[in-house]
Structure 1
């Protein structure tokens, strides 16, 4: 599950939101790739569009910062 994503201009104010996601809520084609993983972290833009899924929270923050975005944790 390593697909590059072009963040482009989807984040006008550069803020993205990081939240924990239970894998059982994801589509079958994604769950099939996760073998034993029970949770992931999603990066969303201000409109709620999911931009990325990663294995841990710190990686989500690093990914956002590498794309010049400002990550904020959401509960």
Structure 2
């Protein structure tokens, strides 16, 4: 599936194409890494909390409840992703 970029597409120069069948393992690993975050329930200092993690699992922040964690993700212009 080839994709031709437009002037508004940030990572691709005008006229560039990308074929997802030829994406490298590293490019696949990094795909969406800076735009996606998820929430995981954790225990912090003996209290239930909700940890916000980057797509690669790096902890980024703590929140008191799930809704606050999702709101923080959205406020920071990231896309919340749910894990199953």
Q: Deviations over 1:20-71 (max 9, x none)?
A: 0022xxxxxxx2xxxxx62100110111110000100000000000000011
The TM-score with structure 2 as length reference comes to: 0.55
Alignment correspondent of 1:16: 37
Inter-partner Cα distance in structure 1 for 2:55 and 2:83: 12
Runs of 4+ in 1 over 4 A off after TM superposition: none
Whichever structure has more strand as a proportion of its residues is 2
Inter-partner Cα distance in structure 1 for 2:42 and 2:83: 11
Alignment correspondent of 1:43: 52
Inter-partner Cα distance in structure 1 for 2:57 and 2:40: 11
Note the residue ranges of structure 2 that are not aligned, 5 or more in a row.
1-32
Aligned residue-pair number: 52
Inter-partner Cα distance in structure 2 for 1:21 and 1:57: 11
